């Protein structure tokens, strides 16, 4: 099978950008079994309710749902099983130091194919307060109004 070039998005976590300030981004590989990769190629993945923890120096993703492959029968794994993320030791140590600070957490931002490998983009995030969310909503509304006014002016 020929290796594909480029990136193909599988799943996106829009909720993360709404609930958190993303300060740093990391790219991690993910340890998967064969039928899970086939299911991902079909786009059957969700990272909406998932989160990431560091246990005993290993980065694990919890709650990432990969639907079972239809033709996989006995080879299918649990769709919500805990999966190991593959990162360099210095990246893990850096993340652990930042998470020790109050208010920081790790959230998955997107899952995608880079060439033929499955990658997860991880964000080092700080939680937003309610007033931060209100400010974001106000900015979006303001931008939408400006775009609408611009469109009306150009049409007339």
The tokens describing 42, both together, are: 């079909």
Query: What one-character-per-residue DSSP string does 112-138 give?
Result: EEETTEEEEEEEEEEEPPHHHHHHHHH
- pTM beyond 0.95: the answer is no
More confident residue, 35 or 78: 35
Task: Give the span between the Cα atoms of 72 and 36, in whole angstroms.
Answer: 9
Q: What is the pLDDT of residue 116?
A: 83
Task: Give the span between the Cα atoms of 2 and 115, in whole angstroms.
Answer: 10
With beta carbons less than 8 A apart as the criterion, state whether 65 and 99 touch: no
Give the tens place of pLDDT for each residue, 98-125: 888 887 888 899 888 888 888 899 988 8
Task: State percent of the chain over pLDDT 70.
Answer: 92
Residue 102 φ/ψ, nearest 5 degrees: -70, 135
Give the tens place of pLDDT for each residue, 12-46: 888 888 888 888 899 999 988 778 888 888 888 88
């Amino acid at each position: 099978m020929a290796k594909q070039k480029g990136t193909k998005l599988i799943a996106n976590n829009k909720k993360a950008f709404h609930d958190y300030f993303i300060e740093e981004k990391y790219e991690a590989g993910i340890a998967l079994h064969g039928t899970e990769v086939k299911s991902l190629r079909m786009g059957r993945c969700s990272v909406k309710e998932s989160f990431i923890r560091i246990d005993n120096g290993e980065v694990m993703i919890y709650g990432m749902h990969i639907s079972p492959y239809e033709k996989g029968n006995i080879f299918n794994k649990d769709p919500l099983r805990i999966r190991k993320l593959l990162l360099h030791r210095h990246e893990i140590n850096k993340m652990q130091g930042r998470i020790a600070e109050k208010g920081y957490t790790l959230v998955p931002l997107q899952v995608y194919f880079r060439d033929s490998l499955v990658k997860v983009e991880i964000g080092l995030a700080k939680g937003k307060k309610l007033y931060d969310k209100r400010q974001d909503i106000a900015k979006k509304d303001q931008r939408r109004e400006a775009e609408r006014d611009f469109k009306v002016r150009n049409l007339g």
